[in-house]
Amino acid sequence: MMKRREDILDSIPLDLSLEIFSRLPSKSIARFRSVSKQWGSMLHRQYFTELFLTRSWARQRLLITLEGNGEFRVFSSPQLQHPYGKSSFVVVSADFHVKFSLPAKTCGLTSGLICFSYNSINKVENALVPVIFNPTTRKYVSLPKLTNSSWYKAFNIFLGFDPIDKQFKVLFMPYPEFGNENRILTLGTGEMSWRKVQCPLSLYPLNKWICINGVLYYLADRMSDGKWPSLMIVCFDVRSEKFKFIEAEECFYATLINYKGKLGGIREIYDNDSNTLELRMWVLEDVEKQEWSKYVYTLQDDEFVDLSFVTVAGVTETGEIVLSMYKSNLVYVIYFNPERSTHQSIGIQGFGDSDYNDVNRHTASVFVDYVEDLNVNDLKYIKSSQDLNIFEE
């Protein structure tokens, strides 16, 4: 007589069973949880959730979005842990996750969730609809609509995560001339609704942000005293909902990064005469004293990648700077180790339609250190609702 799967599991030591499950994708965990109450109880344990996250950090991925022509697609690819091999160029394939069949404004990635918004236009209403999406499970939640039509002209939306209370919060910041009606929404608190939040300064939020250890950082311009730019880094504590501000004139146009748990910024400057790329990096060593460390690195063009077109994707947990470029239906990724002054070029393929060859109509965004987190997958408000039919296989 054939043994049931749970009977087989009973014959395996619990620690070994959890170790085996922790190495599987989150989609498999979701299926196995429904096999029986015993398996469901075991795979919902906090110990297993933490073990799974530890294993996920060992298999980090790059998350890639391609946007254009009224749609965008989401892919992922393995993030090379030791990219400096004998070959100077490696080609890998991307995994397709989902296609969004509507024009959307991508906001960014925080703790495994993508935040984006789209404009819902019909004869009855004109409303901005923010959406939170999990690219691994393809589950999402559409947030309450924002119906002030003036907000569409200039605004930004940011997604922050509080690691203490395990809460995600969405921050909506319109430009000052369209009203200082800043809003915030906490995900998963019963019937979700927007609340007013007061920001002490009148700022123009820019679409550059990152969340590190419960603090949401984003660039903003206050345009005070007729001087431009007057750049600030806004520090928003997700838990307390309090604002702090850092002067950041030198970091203007820099990509915000997480450098080993500290806020940083990298600005890329290409020299056409020498065919070299200069990376200027700042790392915030002391928030209260606003003390920065500054570094400058130089990369030379190679036969595979024209560095004049690359942008900073981020910095890995181990401190490697990741650059990216989209060309000829390939996403090129360059891993640069600043301590060794070595770099490795990777070509990522598998993006489908030839239309995506047109870089003038499509843009690619690359996010580093993407991991599967069961805490995120278990969020009850991230679900496949019926009010937003935007997905295509």
358 domain residue, yes or no: no
Do the strands 342-349 and 195-196 form a parallel or antiparallel pair, or are they unpaired?
Answer: unpaired
Q: What angle (nearest 5°) sits at the alpha carbon of residue 319, between those of residues 25 and 292?
A: 135
- Same domain membership, residue 245 and residue 125: yes
Q: Which pair of structure tokens corresponds to residue 89?
A: 């160029």
Q: For residue 286, with 0-12 CB atoms within 10 Å meaning exposed, 13-18 middle and 19 or more buried, which class applies? A: exposed
Q: What is the pLDDT of residue 359?
A: 47
90 domain residue, yes or no: yes
pLDDT digit of tens for each residue in the chain (393 aa)?
445 555 555 667 777 777 777 777 777 777 777 778 877 778 777 777 777 777 766 678 899 988 877 777 889 888 876 655 555 678 888 888 887 776 666 678 898 888 877 766 554 455 667 788 888 777 778 788 776 545 545 678 899 999 998 889 999 888 777 667 788 999 876 667 889 999 988 888 888 899 999 999 999 887 665 555 578 899 999 999 999 999 876 666 789 999 999 999 999 999 988 888 999 999 999 888 889 999 999 988 776 778 888 999 999 988 999 999 888 788 999 999 888 888 888 899 988 654 444 444 567 889 998 887 766 665 655 555 444 444 444
- Same domain membership, residue 294 and residue 247: yes
- Same domain membership, residue 152 and residue 288: yes
- Same domain membership, residue 228 and residue 185: yes
CA distances from 38 to 10, 30, 113, 245 (A): 10, 14, 29, 50
- Same domain membership, residue 84 and residue 37: no
For residues 140 and 134, the answer to whether their CB atoms sit within 8 Å is yes
Q: What is the pLDDT of residue 11?
A: 66
What is the DSSP secondary-structure string of 340-382? Answer: TTEEEEEEEE----GGGG-TTT-EEEEEEEE---HHHHT-TTS
- Same domain membership, residue 162 and residue 23: no
Total number of domains constituting the chain: 2
- Same domain membership, residue 212 and residue 349: yes
- Same domain membership, residue 125 and residue 27: no
Do the strands 215-221 and 204-212 form a parallel or antiparallel pair, or are they unpaired?
Answer: antiparallel
- Same domain membership, residue 96 and residue 241: yes
Domain assignment of residue 49, given as a range: 14-59
